Structure formats: structure tokens, C-alpha cells
Amino acid sequence: MTDYFDFFNIPRAFNLDQQELRRKYISNSKASHPDFFTLENKDKQDAVLRMSTLNNEGYNILSDHRRLVQHILQLEGMMPEEGKAQVPGDFLIQMMDINERLMEAQMDPAAQGLQAIFNDLDQLEEELAHTAQCAKDQWDEDHSGSSLETVRDIFLKQQYLRRLRQQIKSGGSQL
Amino acid sequence: MAYSEKLLEHFKHPKNVGTLDKSKKSVGTGLVGAPECGDVMRLQIEVDDATQIIKDAKFKTFGCGSAIASSSLATEWLKGKSVDEALTIDNMAIVEELALPPVKIHCSVLAEDAIKGAIKDYKEKNNIVESKS
């Protein structure tokens, strides 16, 4: 897989300098714009197109914090195989509970209880984000395995909250 | 993406949605999740003490249609089976029955894990020693 930190020649870090990334992205975009290479041979044009694709994809990933975290975890070999990822049982119980409450609240036209769920979600997200940020700062400094494990564990939990948020947005079940 | 008729049927009219009393000794509960998509699935079985036959099964799944269909189908298959027979239910059987596309295979794995979790919980509650084969 492509290491987009390498590609942009930016240090691998959770606290990435977004302005630097943006500068490099724009400068790459100019340098690899297909319109400037219409008179070149096919090999050169293909190379430019590949470069442009990587530039766009890389920017999309690194400028989106969730995807940036996922990218680092993948590069560091910290993402479990599909189906092997585990979160603690009590967290799953909490997620089941909040999903059930959300479903009941969504079916109730008076929408009672929704606000309480939003508050719980906000609080949970804040707690996770705070713990994650400490671990991310730590890892950027010392690249320790334990801090990266914390980032990974929280990332997995955040996936459940993300689904809840999508559920709230869509207001119902999705196939 | 095209989904099979069976899958759509289980998704639109899921069987056995609900909750069993988990404080009962005869009820086993399996709770599993898939962080890839944030799905959570709870599957419960109620076992007849004398015959060791699963007399009821319920589930509640918060997730995509394939996860709902997989758990709905799983509860249908569980009812009437003995606990040991239930352990042989394999996720690939679910994949075949529902014609799950490759990207949704993990939903069937989730259902299998939930079955195994429910049986394990039941056995632990009733001090049945897991027979290792």
C-alpha cells in the first residue's frame, strides 16, 4: 500500500501540519496537471496521471482525520484483520443500549429522549477524543507501541459511534 | 448492488426480533460487534433443560441489512436444534443461503460469533463443560 506520508514527504504523525500538506498538494496538482502534458508521449502522460491520482487520493486521506488515523494504523500494521477486531464487552453493552434507546426514540414521533441520547453521545465522543489525543501526542513524540495501541482501541470504539451518528442523520435503517 | 430475494425478505420482515430474559438460567446471550462498520448484534437462545433443544431464539441487530438478515436467518435455524447441533452452524452456510456479496461476508461471521457466544453463555450458566474436540 502507498505510504502517503512518504508521497508528500511529510513526517508520519497524527498531528500533521495541514497547511504544509495543503501547500504540497496544490504544488503537486500544478506540477501534475494533465493539461500541461498533452504533447508528451503516452508513457509520460500515464506517469503524470498516476501521480495526479496518488496526489488526490493521498490528500483526501491525510486531510480527513479519521482516515489519517486509519492510514497510520495500517502502515504500522496495527489494524486487525477483518472480523478479528475486538472492543471490550462492557463497551459493546453500552453500544447495544444506546442503539436500542435511539431506535425507540426514533419511532416515537414526539422524539422524547433523543436529546438525552445526543448528550450521552457527545460526552462519550469527547471522552474518547480526549484520551485519543493524549495517546496521539505521545506517539508523535516517542512512537511507542503502547500509545499506538491506545489510539487503535479508541479508533475501533469510535467506529461504533460513527455508525450511531449516521443512524441519527438518516433517521432509520439502511440496507 | 443486487441482493437476493431471501436476503431482502429477512431484512424487510426479520424473524424473531426481540429479547429474552437474560436472567433466566435457560437463556444464553451472545453480544458481538464489528468495528469495521460499527454494527452490534445480540442473539439469545432459550434451551429446554430436559432435552437440550433450543426452543426459542431472538435477536436484535443494529447494522446493515445483511447483518440483520444474517441474524434473522440464524435464529430461524437455531430453533429446534440441539445445543451441540447449533454449534455446527457455519457462517458460509449463511453466506450461501442469503447469497451475500463478498463485502458482506463479515456479517455472517458476526452471526456465527453471536451463536457461539450465546451457547457459551448458556453452558457457563449451567456449568456444562465445553467438550473440546
A173/B contact by beta carbon, under 8 A: yes
- Give the per-residue pLDDT at A121: 92
- Give the per-residue pLDDT at B132: 56
- Give the per-residue pLDDT at B131: 59
**Global ipTM:** 0.80
The DSSP code sequence of A6-45 is HHHT----SS--HHHHHHHHHHHHHHT-GGGGTTS-HHHH
Mean pLDDT by 10 residues, chain B (133 residues): 83 91 94 89 94 95 91 95 93 92 89 95 87 55
Bigger pLDDT: A6 or B36? A6
- Give the per-residue pLDDT at A40: 84
Chain A residues in contact with B106 (beta carbon < 8 A): 82-83
Q: Using the beta-carbon criterion (under 8 Å), do B65 and A103 form an inter-chain contact?
A: no
Identify which of A92, A160, A175 has the shortest CB distance to residue B31: A92
Nearest CA in chain A to B109: A83
Assess whether B64 carries a catalytic annotation: no
Ranges of each domain in chain A: 4-75, 89-169
pTM of the model: 0.83
The highest-confidence range among A43-47, A64-68, A91-95, by mean pLDDT, is A64-68
Q: Which CATH architecture fits A4-75?
A: Orthogonal Bundle (1.10)
- Give the per-residue pLDDT at A175: 43
For residue A40, the distance in angstroms to the closest alpha carbon of chain B comes to 40
Indicate the helix (H) or strand (E) that contains B32: strand B27-34
Portion of chain A with pLDDT greater than 70, in percent: 95
Q: Using the beta-carbon criterion (under 8 Å), do B37 and A159 form an inter-chain contact?
A: yes
Using the structure block, give the residue that is written with the C-alpha cell 443494529.
Answer: B62
Give residue A172's pLDDT band: very low, low, confident or very high (50, 70, 90): low
- A78, A86, A155, A159: best to mutate for the B interface, most B CBs within 10 A: A159
- Give the per-residue pLDDT at A92: 92
- Mean pLDDT score across all residues of chain A: 90
Q: What is the pLDDT of residues A14-39, one digit of tens each?
A: 999 999 999 999 999 998 887 888 88
Nearest to A78 by CA among A131, A164, A123, A12: A12
Nearby residues of A152 by Cβ (< 8 Å), 6 or more positions away: A73, A78, A79
Q: Using the beta-carbon criterion (under 8 Å), do A173 and B65 form an inter-chain contact?
A: yes
